[in-house]
Amino acid sequence: MSLSPPPHKIADSPRVGMVSLGCPKALVDSERILTRLRADGYGFGADYAGADVVVVNTCGFLDSAKEESLAAIGEAMAENGRVIVTGCMGSEAEAIRARFPNVLAITGAHQYEAVVAAVHEAAPPARGPYVDLIPQPSADDIKLTPRHYSYLKISEGCNHACSFCIIPQLRGKLASRRIDAVLREAEKLVAAGTRELLVISQDTSAYGVDTRHEMRDWKGQPVRAHMTDLARELGGLRTPQGAPPWVRLHYVYPYPHVDAVIPLMAEGLLTPYLDIPFQHASPSVLRRMKRPANEVKVLERLKSWREICPEIAIRSSFVVGFPGETEADFQYLLDWLDEAQLDRVGAFRFEPVAGAAANDLPDAVPEALKEERYARLMERTEAISAAKLQAKIGRILPVIVDELGEPDEDGDIGASGRSQADAPEIDGQVLLRDVPASLRPGDIVTARIEDADAHDLFGVIAD
């Protein structure tokens, strides 16, 4: 009688913890890092104690964000002690090491290979004939967002020289991805369950400028690396059930060719939503910001877009208290907002950023005045939002479900979701009552709107 050999013991996989800070673009970077590490055989720790090494993906856009990043690094050092730093603040390695000299490695934004190499050195991957058979990344790539929506990054960097911004210093000049690679990723995401694609970059409208809008073959047809071509192709994607995903465009500068995507929204190929970073409206402030000062023409185009696609929602963000901003400049912005009637607005108090040209501008606005102007702007935009949402009461709208609640004492279940006018995390919600227990995150339902406040809608699934 022969005895079987004892089973081969597979070495335990090292475990990596991840702290991801900052914008959706940084979140995509974190997803790519984790996906690559999983392909190399790593597991992931849900807390500091369960990780052999911790990667902190930092934000470095504002000084307040840098302090948040440093605090996160400090917490990871205190709780774990084996920390690798990456992301935008990685460009300030000296400042990080001055505070935390024992961090294992520091890399800059979107330096995936360097991060993975640092993890390999800090916690070498398990090796052997079994572990090395781990497949490369696939449609099951790691996602840090819910399964039903995904960020689709189309480029890195930026060619603008805005005086308040250091993004080109952190992430470099515009570097567009190949359009066939972008479309292939989008197709995989939709096939894997994504119902909403959020297109992101530093400047979505400039996609392909750096490659002179090179042509690539996509399913037997030539396609340009251009925002309008990309939007049209994304609008043709279908889920396994044959439904079109929502395709939402973020960080869109209002270049003339943006006009060409509005008919695609009217046709239902794109979600009728544009995220446009206007930043201000006063011509004098825009000049000091080194941004285009064509606020009147923008108002004309907003009117034209709404005539073509009445359902279009426009979101933007604005900076108050920029150096030299007078009361007349600020009042100009308020009046412009009254006329523009934007659907969603965010605002920021100007904050000096190390390395930004705006720091050297004269006539700094006092902090108390920044706060007062910020409060006035938010009050004005909240009133506009409330009126727009009140006008939706009684309408039936498509809603994508994000989360289901627990049954109450009567067994009724509520759910939170979003209309096509609402991007995740930054806009409002649609709160639904009495939903069926069979409802799942990612389901798209039609809802009758029953009520509204300044930010959110309330409704019930339509019969």
Q: Are residues 361 and 339 in the same domain?
A: yes
| Higher-scoring residue by pLDDT: 461, 125 | 461
Domain C-terminal end among 133, 162, 181: 133
Distance CA 311, CA 420 (A): 9
Over range 432-442, report the average pLDDT: 93
State the residue range of the domain holding 227. Answer: 149-390
In a domain, 313, yes or no: yes
Q: Are residues 402 and 360 in the same domain?
A: no
Which pLDDT band, with edges at 50, 70 and 90, does 133 fall under? very low
In a domain, 2, yes or no: no
Q: Are residues 225 and 291 in the same domain?
A: yes
> Which pLDDT tens digit goes with each residue over 329-351?
999 999 999 999 999 999 989 98
In a domain, 219, yes or no: yes
Partners of 397 in the β-ladder: 447
The number of folded domains in the chain is 3
In a domain, 138, yes or no: no
Domain C-terminal end among 133, 161, 186: 133
Q: Are residues 103 and 176 in the same domain?
A: no
For the cut 60, the answer to whether the pLDDT of residue 136 exceeds it is: no
CATH number at residue 323: 3.80.30.20
> Which pLDDT tens digit goes with each residue over 42-72?
888 878 888 899 999 988 777 788 889 999 9
Q: Are residues 126 and 173 in the same domain?
A: no
Distance CA 447, CA 431 (A): 10
> Which pLDDT tens digit goes with each residue over 232-291?
999 999 998 899 999 999 999 988 999 999 999 999 999 999 999 999 999 999 999 998
Q: Are residues 322 and 441 in the same domain?
A: no
Distance CA 309, CA 343 (A): 14
Q: Are residues 172 and 98 in the same domain?
A: no
Q: Rounded mean pLDDT of the chain?
A: 87
In a domain, 139, yes or no: no
CATH number at residue 112: 3.40.50.12160
DSSP string, 82-93: -EEEEEGGGGGH
| Higher-scoring residue by pLDDT: 151, 309 | 309
How many CB atoms neighbour CB 242 within 10 A? 6
For the cut 50, the answer to whether the pLDDT of residue 134 exceeds it is: no
Q: Are residues 379 and 409 in the same domain?
A: no
In a domain, 143, yes or no: no
